[in-house]
Structure 1
Amino acid sequence: MPTFCNTLAPAVSRRDMLKLSANSFGLLALADMLHARETKSASALAPRPTHFAPKAKRVIFLFMHGGPSQVDTFDPKPLLKKHNGKPYPGQKPRVQFAATGNLLQSPWEFRPGGDSGIQVSDLFPEVRKRADDLCVVRAIHADNSAHGGALLQLHTGSDTFVRPSVGSWVTYGLGSENQNLPGFITLCPTLGHGGLQNWSSAFLPAAYQGTPIGHSGIPAKQATVKDIVPAASPELQRMQLDLLKEINATHLTKSGPDAALEARIGSFELAFRMQAEAPTVTDLSKETVKTLESYGIGDGKPTDNFGRQCLTARRLAEAGVRFIQCTHSYKWDQHENLKKDHTKNALEVDKPIAALLADLKQRDLLKDTLVWWGGEFGRTPAAQGGDGRDHNPHAFSMWLAGGGINGGMVHGATDDFGYYAVDKKVHMHDLHATILHLLGLDHEKLTYRHAGRDFRLTDVKGTVVKELFE
C-alpha cells in the first residue's frame, strides 16, 4: 500500500492518517453546525453590534455605470491641454482594452468649489457647490479593464468569482434598522455586466441579498415592488402564511435543516410586513413641490429618472434601510462622442446628486449616512475614436461624503496626464475596507465560513485609508 513519508518522520499509511485526523474532521463539522445554529438564533436582519464605534449607519451608493472620465470630472490635468494631440510620453499599459492614440484635452474647464476650493469640472456645477462636503479620492485603481469583471470587483471585491455584494456584507455584519423593509435595496439596477451577481448574497444567507426595485430597462417612475398592494385582506394573508409556515416546519422536522427553505419562509414573512410600510416609503407624492423641484423631478425633465432614485434613496435611508444603491445605467462608456454624451449624462445626475447631499444635510442625516459616488473604472487621457476615451482601471476618481468623512479635501494623485495612480494609491480592496470601517466593521473580522475556509469582502488584502476620516 502506498505510504506518506519523508526523511523527518516514519511512514504513515493513509488508513492510519485518517484515524489520526478523524477528530479534526468531527470538530470542523461541529463548528459548522454551531455556526449555523448561532445564525438562526435570531432574525437574520436583526441589528447587530459593531466591532467598534461606527461613524456611519448606512450607505447610499450612486453608481455611474460605464466609467466616467476622471480627467473630465474631478481630476484636472492642465498638461493635457498643453500637449493636446501629442503622443503620451510615458509607457501605456501592457494590456489595453483597445488601442488608443494621442493625448486628448478635456473639453471642460475646471473651477474651484466651496471654501475648500476643490477643482470640479463644468460638467458638475451643482455638485461643485457641495464641494465642502466631498472627499475626492483621485488615486483609485483596480484590476480589470472589462465592464463585467470591473463591475463584479466594484460590487463584490472579486472580478473572477461569484462573491457576496458589498451591500450583502454590510447587512450581514450589521443587520437592518427596520425589520419591515429589506436591509439592502438596489434601485433600477443594471441587468448587464454581471447582472444580479452585482447585488447577490452568493454563499451568504439569502436574507442578505439585495432587493431590486425596477431595473435599468424601465423608467424609475415605473419601478415598483411587484404585488406590494395585497389582493387579499391582511387577516386572510396571515392565515395563509401561518398554514404555509406550519407545513414547511413539518417538512423541516423530517428533512433536517434546509437553508434555502428557511430563507424562503423568511422572505414570505418580510414580504407580508413590507406591504404595510413599503408603499408609503416609496410614495414620492408625499414630498413637497419644492423638494420634487430640487431633485429635478417632473415629466419631460432630463433629471426626472435619477432624481426619483435619489429622493427614494433618501426616504429609504430615513426608514432605516442599511444599504441603498442608485444606478445611472449604462451611459458613461464614451469610446467616442465624449463631449456630447458626457454632457448629457452629467446633466441627468448633477442636480439630483447635489439635492440629495443638501437634503440629507438639512435633515441631519448626512453625518451618519455615507454617500459614495463612482463608476467601475475611469478613462484614458489618450484619445480613441476621435472624440472618445478607452477604459482605464489604473487611475480614476471617486468621492465620499458624510458618514464621518473629512469633507472639502482631495486624497491622492495621478500622474501629470491622469493615466496612472501614483500618490496615496487606493485599491478597490482598500476602499471596501474603509467603507466597512466607517460602519464600525473590521474587514478582517467580518468573515463567513464557506467551502472550508473563511471568506471576506476584501479577500486577503485591503488597508483602511484613515486619512479620509481622521
Structure 2
Amino acid sequence: MSTEKSILQGLGRRDFLGKMGMGLGSVALTSLLNPIDALAGTGIGGRNTRGNGGALHLPHFIPKAKRVIYLFQSGGPSQQDMFDYKPLLRELNGQDLPNSVRQGQRLTGMSAFQNSLPLAGSHFDFKQYGKSGMWVSDLLPHTSKIVDELCFIKSMYTEAINHDPAITFFQTGSQQPGRPSIGSWLSYGLGSDNENLPAFSVLLSRSHPFGQPLYSRLWGNGFLPSQHQGVQFRSGKDPVLYLANPHGITDTSRKNALDALEELHTLNVDKMGTQELSSKISQYEMAYRMQTSVPEAMSIADEPDYILDMYGPEAKIPGSYAYNCVLARRLVEKDVKFVQLYHQGWDQHGNLPSDIKKQCKSTDQPSAALVMDLKQRGLLDDTLVIWGGEFGRTSYSQGRLTKDNYGRDHHPRCFTMWMAGAGVKSGYIHGETDDFGYNIVENPVHVHDFQATLMHLLGIDHERLTYKFQGRRFRLTDVHGHVIKDILT
C-alpha cells in the first residue's frame, strides 16, 4: 500500500476535506465515476467494506447476519388463529375466561366494561407440519410448507396494550416517541455496504383502508444524526420524493449547488458546529447518487415470471405486500443493510374470521416465497427475515360471540413471531403459552430481548452501542434486554 493511500485511510471525513481542500460537491461527483477506495473501511478479515463507515468501525464480534428484512404486521395478528393451537378454547367456547387465568391483568378500554369475557375457539383447523411438528392453521398453506426453515417464538410479550405505544416500543425501544428506530441504530453503528443506496430502507404496502396509522417517526433517526433516518421507497413514478432534479436543473447545476453548500458549511462551521450540517451534506450527496441507483433497484421489469409467480398473483401490483417482498429481496441483494416492510390491517376487533382470511391471502404466499427465494440465491445464510406484529390477541371475544363470528382485543401478555435465516435455528419452536393462550408458561421473550438478539446477530453488543444525548448515554434496549441464546445456531 502506498504511503499516500495509508495516510488517506487514517483521515476522517472532515479532516480529509479540510486538509485536501476539496469541495463536497466535487467529492460527490468524483465518487460517482471513481469511488475512493482509500476512504473505505476495512471489515473483519481484511474485507474492504465500501460505503459509509459506521460509528463502530468494526462490529463487536463476527456477525451471523449482514442484512435484515423485517416484515412488520401492524395491528396485532391473532396467534390463536394462526400459530398457537389451543383446542381447549373450542371445548370451552362461550364460557367466561376464568379469573384464575386472567389474574387481574390489565384490559383495554374496549373490553373493560364487558359483562363477560367469553372464550372464543378458533374457526380454523390446525395441523402439525415439518420435523418440528409446528402447529399451523389452514389460513397459512404456504407458510406451513416452510416451517422447517423458520424459528418460531411463541412466548413474546410486551408492556404496551395500545397500538401506537406498542409499535413505537418495537421500533424504537421506548413507548414514548422521539427515540431512534432500529434501522437508524444499525445505520449509525454499522454504516452502509452500498454507497449508492441508504443503509435503512422502508416499504409500506397498501392494505386495509382502516388499518392503524403508521407515522414516519417509526423509521426516524430521533436524536441520531439525520442521515441515519429510514428512506421511504414508494410505489409509482417517483420511488423517493424530491430525488429527481426539478425541471430546468441539470447535473451541472446540481454540482454547483453542492459546491455552494460546501462553502456555506465552511462559513458556519465555527458558529453552529458541524454534525447536523455534515449530516445534511451527506444526505444531499446520497440523493445525488440515488438518482441513478434507485430506479434500477425499484424496478421489477427484469424479474422472470417464474419468480413473480412464487410470490403470488399480486406480485405485479405496485404497492402490494407481494410486490414489496420482491423489492425487499432486490434491496438486500444490493447490500442494503436493513429493509423495514410495514403491512397494515391486522386489528381485528370484529369480523375476525372473514378479515383474517383476506390478510393471510395477501401475506402468506409472499412471506414464504421471500424466505425460499433468498435461500435459492444463497442469501438466506447471511440475511435475517423477521415476521411479527406489536402484540397478540385475546383468547376471549371482544363484544358478542356468535356461531359464525367473533373478534379479539389487544393482548400484550403473549404472542407469536417467527424468524428465518442468518444465525437462528431452523425448524425450532421457542417458548410456550398456557392452555388458554393467555399467559406464558415457558421461556418468556420481552421486546428488549428480541432487540438485543437482533443486534447480536449483526455483530453488535446491545449494551455497547450507545449515543450521548442531553447528558445521558442512550441505547436501543434502554437498560434492559438479554440475548435469546437458545434460538441461536
Following the alignment from structure 2 to structure 1, what is the Cα–Cα distance between the partners of residues 313 and 72? 19
Following the alignment from structure 1 to structure 2, what is the Cα–Cα distance between the partners of residues 38 and 424? 45
Following the alignment from structure 2 to structure 1, what is the Cα–Cα distance between the partners of residues 167 and 252? 43
Following the alignment from structure 2 to structure 1, what is the Cα–Cα distance between the partners of residues 212 and 358? 21
Asked whether the 8 Å contact 2:386–2:419 carries over to 1, the reply is yes
2:78 to 69, 75, 97: 69
Query: Aligned in 2, Cα 1:388/1:248: closer, same or farther, shift over 3 Å?
Result: same
Following the alignment from structure 1 to structure 2, what is the Cα–Cα distance between the partners of residues 181 and 300? 23
Task: Classify the secondary structure of the residue corresponding to 1:284.
Answer: coil
User: Which residue of 2 is the match for residue 4 of structure 1?
Assistant: none
Following the alignment from structure 2 to structure 1, what is the Cα–Cα distance between the partners of residues 238 and 151? 31
CA drift at 1:293: 1.7
User: Which residue of 2 is the match for residue 409 of structure 1?
Assistant: 428
CA drift at 1:425: 0.1
Q: TM-score, normalised by structure 2?
A: 0.82
Letter in structure 2 aligned against 1:77 = K
CA drift at 1:226: 2.5
Letter in structure 2 aligned against 1:165 = S
Following the alignment from structure 1 to structure 2, what is the Cα–Cα distance between the partners of residues 104 and 430? 30
User: Which residue of 1 is the match for residue 171 of structure 2?
Assistant: 155
Letter in structure 2 aligned against 1:95 = R
Range moving further from structure 2, 72-81 or 224-233: 224-233
User: Which residue of 2 is the match for residue 55 of structure 1?
Assistant: 64
Following the alignment from structure 1 to structure 2, what is the Cα–Cα distance between the partners of residues 116 and 104? 27
Query: Aligned in 2, Cα 1:200/1:304: closer, same or farther, shift over 3 Å?
Result: closer
Task: Classify the secondary structure of the residue corresponding to 1:152.
Answer: helix
Task: Classify the secondary structure of the residue corresponding to 2:75.
Answer: coil
Deviations 1:307-345 (A, max 9, x none): 11100000000011110011111x100100010000000
Task: Classify the secondary structure of the residue corresponding to 2:320.
Answer: helix
Task: Give the alignment of 1:248-287 within 5 angstroms.
Answer: 248-287=264-303
Asked whether the 8 Å contact 1:313–1:324 carries over to 2, the reply is yes
Range moving further from structure 2, 242-251 or 142-151: 242-251
CA drift at 1:361: 0.2
Counterpart check, 1:421 vs 2:440: yes
Deviations 1:123-170 (A, max 9, x none): 111011110111110000001111010010010111124211011111
Range moving further from structure 2, 139-148 or 222-231: 222-231
Letter in structure 1 aligned against 2:275 = A
Following the alignment from structure 1 to structure 2, what is the Cα–Cα distance between the partners of residues 221 and 266? 26
1:87 to 96, 115, 140: 96
1:118 to 130, 134, 142: 134
1:165 to 173, 181, 187: 181
User: Which residue of 1 is the match for residue 454 of structure 2?
Assistant: 435
Query: Aligned in 2, Cα 1:156/1:205: closer, same or farther, shift over 3 Å?
Result: same
CA drift at 1:39: 8.9
Query: Aligned in 2, Cα 1:222/1:272: closer, same or farther, shift over 3 Å?
Result: closer
Structure 1 vs Structure 2: percent identity of aligned residues?
Answer: 41
User: Which residue of 2 is the match for residue 26 of structure 1?
Assistant: none
Task: Give the alignment of 1:38-437 within 5 angstroms.
Answer: 45-46=52-53, 48-89=57-98, 90-92=100-102, 93-97=104-108, 98-99=110-111, 101-188=117-204, 193=213, 195-214=215-234, 220=235, 224-230=239-245, 235-298=251-314, 305-329=320-344, 331-386=345-400, 387-437=406-456
Q: TM-score, normalised by structure 1?
A: 0.86
Following the alignment from structure 2 to structure 1, what is the Cα–Cα distance between the partners of residues 147 and 315? 29
Deviations 1:320-378 (A, max 9, x none): 1110011111x100100010000000100111111101100000001111100000100
Asked whether the 8 Å contact 2:154–2:415 carries over to 1, the reply is yes
CA drift at 1:192: 5.9
CA drift at 1:422: 2.2
Deviations 1:170-204 (A, max 9, x none): 11111111011111011017996561221111011
Asked whether the 8 Å contact 2:132–2:429 carries over to 1, the reply is no
CA drift at 1:256: 4.1
Following the alignment from structure 2 to structure 1, what is the Cα–Cα distance between the partners of residues 254 and 236? 31
Query: Aligned in 2, Cα 1:298/1:208: closer, same or farther, shift over 3 Å?
Result: same
Task: Classify the secondary structure of the residue corresponding to 2:142.
Answer: helix
CA drift at 1:404: 1.3
Asked whether the 8 Å contact 2:315–2:322 carries over to 1, the reply is no
Task: Classify the secondary structure of the residue corresponding to 1:130.
Answer: helix
CA drift at 1:119: 1.2
Following the alignment from structure 2 to structure 1, what is the Cα–Cα distance between the partners of residues 432 and 441? 6
Following the alignment from structure 1 to structure 2, what is the Cα–Cα distance between the partners of residues 122 and 159? 34
CA drift at 1:227: 4.4
Letter in structure 1 aligned against 2:233 = I
Following the alignment from structure 2 to structure 1, what is the Cα–Cα distance between the partners of residues 440 and 12? 43
Following the alignment from structure 1 to structure 2, what is the Cα–Cα distance between the partners of residues 127 and 450? 43
Structure 1: 5+ residue stretches without partners: 1-36, 215-219
Deviations 1:187-243 (A, max 9, x none): 0179965612211110111111111123xxxxx456721244445686414532343
Asked whether the 8 Å contact 1:297–1:305 carries over to 2, the reply is no
CA drift at 1:286: 1.3
Following the alignment from structure 2 to structure 1, what is the Cα–Cα distance between the partners of residues 486 and 435? 23
Task: Classify the secondary structure of the residue corresponding to 1:275.
Answer: helix
Following the alignment from structure 2 to structure 1, what is the Cα–Cα distance between the partners of residues 308 and 176? 41
Following the alignment from structure 1 to structure 2, what is the Cα–Cα distance between the partners of residues 94 and 39? 53
